Structure 1
Amino acid sequence: MEGIPQMDKGPVLVQAKPLLADRLRSFNHGIKAAEPDLQAWAWTAAEVENVPGRQISGVAPPLKDLLFGVKDIIDVAGMPTKNGCRAYEQAELKQADAACVAMLRDAGAIPIGKTVTAELAYAEPGPTRNPWNTEHTPGGSSSGSAAAVAAGMVPFALGTQTGGSIIRPAAYCGVVGFKASRGAVSLSGVKSISESFDSLGWFTRSVDEAITVGHVLLPNEACSAGATANLKLGVLTQLGPADIDPESIESLSGVAQILSVAGYRIEPARLPIDLEQVHFLHRKIMTHEMYRNFAYERLQFKDKLGKATLSALDEGAAVSTTEYVHCLSRLRQLTVRATDELLKFDAILTYSAPGPAPLGLNRTGNSSCNRVWSALGSPALHLPTGLTHRGLPIGVQLVTTPWNDMRLLEIGLRLHRALNWQPEWPQPLATAAS
């Protein structure tokens, strides 16, 4: 991207970096050069105090002076939280950080601004465009975070996922996207969409970087020695009702072949559950919880909500408590059955999205390849692996059983190195129609 500072070669988060003042100048330059086209930011700090990073026993913290973006449903002290919603346009500055932001600050990182989210982190898209081609969607709802990292504005950014809000935009924008297991990272200070499915995650340009952030946000979870040796990988090609683009099918098949040649054990995988029922249960539970959690918005600002949000709230209102409890019980049963199959493999390789980023900005894309993992509570990792013939990013999704987040990241690092895709990041912004 023209005018955007390009990140250093290699694992950005573990290399020596310029002074904070240089980073701030680079960020401000990038905002001026590309933000009018990209529109990844809902709010940016006019000034950030230029103070040295926190020191611990003379050792610099792991993320010293690294700037990062924060999805605009996550609170940051001194910044407004607008939730991608017109009702919050005049929101006051927050007095406290969300737990995840506080942990990153404690590790030396500096939140530089709030990234665009779909309205209330659901489906009504924001203004963000895809850095690879501005006529295509960046995905959602964590659209601004994925686009800002792809554009090189920040080395990492926070997002959330309830259906497919991290993995899908990561796939569309060609970056590494990681969704933690449900409950693995505190959601204190994060706008609740659906407590049964909400999970925190982050975007980076490499798996090394995602691991470095993981060591901060998943501090008590270690990858055991030898956890990535003699890997057995399952390839799952059935995830939901959506038709899969031929280039996505070719990409997954090609990745499996490369890894097989590299010595990994590759076997077909099949979840022994009715996937359409999982999608049905996810929808029922999510919309009912949205109806409850968005009570303030629907009662006070109904005229300021988009059609997609209002439709989901109407759906949720029609779900009775009895039906809701039954759906929760049924999903728990299916989760146990699915976990039994997942335990046969070290990880599952599957599609991150039905295809590359669709043309147009009036929708965020199809999340059918992601909802099952959100429903099951599994950690998920998007690995970018190449470009389509139209120059749009494509890749694969890696998943495993819940609460094995760092192990999944370590496996992802090993596999991504074997795939060895070295992208030429979007510079300048592509605007040609596909």
Structure 2
Amino acid sequence: MISLAKLQRRIDAGDLSADDSIAQSLEAITAQDKTIGAFVCRAENLRAASDGPLRGIAVGIKDIIDTADFPTEMGSPIYRGYRPRGDAAVVMMLKQAGASIIGKTTTTAFASVDPTPTFNPHNKGHTPGGSSSGSAAAVAAGMVPLALGTQTGGSVIRPASFCGVAAIKPSYHLLPTVGVKCFSWTLDTVGLFAAGVDDVARGLSAMTGRPELLLPPTISTPRIGVVTQDFAGAPEASGEAALRIARRAVEKAGATVRALALPKNVAEAWRAQPVVQEFEAHRALAWEYREHYDAMAPLLRAKLDGSRDTTSFAYDEAIAVATRARQALEKVFDGVEVLLTLSAPGVAPKGLGSTGDARYNRVWTLMGVPCVNVPALVAEINLPVGVQVIARYGADAQALAAARFVEQALAGRISAA
């Protein structure tokens, strides 16, 4: 993989020109994407910006995010060849920070459940996850140092886990969704993929102009609550092993760690999340569903068929459940700084028939809290599994710092004093 932090240091030191950095990504895409299929379109020639913290950094953009320089087809034939007149807000934030948009990455249709033809770079017999399939795969394959995705259920953290990359789903609306195809306005969140936690932090800090998101030179030892999410069902052996290994690593590194039982309100919110998601999806995709029903991706169409009778009363009740759960979760963080939990049930599913299960992600998206994936192990079939670090709403800097602590502990770079 390509480390954004290392590229920045080389460019700043004059060891690598910004244009050569971009050229390396173009060459990597040419060499690798024919067997992975992470991009739906890409630049042929691209120059670096003259300044900005992300100059020389090539970025892939999930193809539900508007770009003036590339089509935005949203994984659907309904929008084949569609060319927005302007960039989404997050794309402009990247450009203003000096980044170079290198192309559009694959997405499931409207960021839902119908798989893309993208392969997992670690094992091409398995999915890279979804819906941000191409962004996760492009970073994992070393094609780009940074990519944007979105998460409505688990579409950033889960593919990051399957592809063995770092990723952040920031606090709700830290990154604007203006110019991003809506699926659920209560849930949709723009996120970032990169090689490591420091890389993710640098990308998010540069985009938002928030220096407080950069990692401090010394990471303090966090107080961690381990959460198994029993209400979401048991994980696979590899997922359970990832959480166990991560817990042992941070304990060995000196962190204060204890198991936590989440409030009942959070379990109720987990059950309510699909009501919120599907009710809003019917409104966000009303034109496509009514005017282009036959062209809708089959799994998404079936999901909308099955949920079209959801009442506004049920939706209002689900929103009320989520509000109570957020209040209860806030109190959990009075005793710990971050939570450590599963990113996915286990390794990436075999084949391209499914993008995986979001059951360990969806409640955190509904809660709006920042989540960071950290790769924890590589299973026997050369497939990674991650864990996620979660902080209270708005504490993205704390989530990133704690995730860096977990990352370093897993690498054996820190130990208890």
Range class of TM-score, shorter chain: over 0.9
Confirm whether residue 7 of structure 1 aligns to residue 5 of structure 2: no
C-alpha deviations, 1:329-364, integer Å up to 9, x for none? Answer: 121112211221133211111111010111110110
C-alpha deviations, 1:58-101, integer Å up to 9, x for none? Answer: xxx2111211000001111221110011111121x222111111
Q: Which amino acid aligns with 2:17?
A: L
Alignment of 1:26-425 (within 5 A): 26-48=24-46, 50=47, 53-55=49-51, 61-91=52-82, 93-220=83-210, 222=212, 228-273=219-264, 276-420=267-411
Q: Which amino acid aligns with 2:398?
A: R
Q: Distance in 1 between matches of 2:68 and 2:169?
A: 24
1:225 CA displacement? 8.1
Kept in 2: contact 1:343–1:401 (CA 8 A): no
Which runs of 5 or more structure 1 residues have no equivalent in the other structure? Answer: 1-5, 56-60, 423-434
SS at match of 2:212: coil
When residues 352 and 185 of structure 1 are mapped into structure 2, their CA distance, relative to the original with a 3 A threshold, is same
Q: Distance in 1 between matches of 2:198 and 2:8?
A: 8
1:230 CA displacement? 4.0
Q: Which amino acid aligns with 1:406?
A: A
Q: Distance in 1 between matches of 2:23 and 2:403?
A: 33
1:19 CA displacement? 2.8
Equivalent residue number for residue 3 of structure 1: none
1:309 CA displacement? 0.8
When residues 12 and 421 of structure 1 are mapped into structure 2, their CA distance, relative to the original with a 3 A threshold, is farther
Q: Distance in 1 between matches of 2:89 and 2:370?
A: 19
1:279 CA displacement? 2.8
Q: Distance in 2 between matches of 1:47 and 1:247?
A: 42
Q: Distance in 2 between matches of 1:125 and 1:137?
A: 8
1:321 CA displacement? 1.5
Q: Which has the higher helix share?
A: 2
Q: Which amino acid aligns with 1:361?
A: L
1:183 CA displacement? 1.3
1:32 CA displacement? 2.8
When residues 217 and 344 of structure 1 are mapped into structure 2, their CA distance, relative to the original with a 3 A threshold, is farther
When residues 221 and 107 of structure 1 are mapped into structure 2, their CA distance, relative to the original with a 3 A threshold, is closer
Q: Distance in 2 between matches of 1:80 and 1:261?
A: 49
> 2:20 pairs with 14, 19, 22, which one?
22
Q: Which amino acid aligns with 1:18?
A: L
Kept in 2: contact 1:13–1:212 (CA 8 A): no
1:252 CA displacement? 1.3
Q: Which runs of 4+ in 1 moved over 4 A?
A: 223-228
Kept in 1: contact 2:3–2:145 (CA 8 A): no
When residues 348 and 310 of structure 1 are mapped into structure 2, their CA distance, relative to the original with a 3 A threshold, is same
What is the number of equivalent residue pairs in this alignment?
Answer: 409
C-alpha deviations, 1:305-339, integer Å up to 9, x for none? Answer: 12221122224421111221121112111221122
Kept in 1: contact 2:268–2:321 (CA 8 A): no
Identical positions, percent:
32
Q: Distance in 1 between matches of 2:112 and 2:140?
A: 22
SS at match of 1:222: helix
1:7 CA displacement? 3.0
1:222 CA displacement? 2.4
SS at match of 1:356: coil
SS at match of 1:117: coil
1:250 CA displacement? 2.1
Bigger Cα displacement from structure 2, 112-121 vs 402-411: 402-411
Q: Which amino acid aligns with 1:122?
A: S
1:304 CA displacement? 0.9
Kept in 2: contact 1:381–1:398 (CA 8 A): yes
Q: Distance in 1 between matches of 2:40 and 2:80?
A: 10
C-alpha deviations, 1:250-283, integer Å up to 9, x for none? Answer: 2211221121121110111111125553232110
C-alpha deviations, 1:22-57, integer Å up to 9, x for none? Answer: 334433332332212100011112333x3x5244xx
SS at match of 2:346: coil
TM-score (norm: length of structure 2): 0.93
Q: Distance in 1 between matches of 2:412 and 2:75?
A: 34
Kept in 2: contact 1:239–1:275 (CA 8 A): no
Bigger Cα displacement from structure 2, 106-115 vs 245-254: 245-254
Q: Which amino acid aligns with 1:7?
A: I
Superposed CA RMSD: 2.1
Kept in 2: contact 1:175–1:203 (CA 8 A): yes
Q: Distance in 1 between matches of 2:4 and 2:284?
A: 43
TM-score (norm: length of structure 1): 0.89
Q: Which amino acid aligns with 2:128?
A: P
Equivalent residue number for residue 427 of structure 1: none
Bigger Cα displacement from structure 2, 100-109 vs 245-254: 245-254
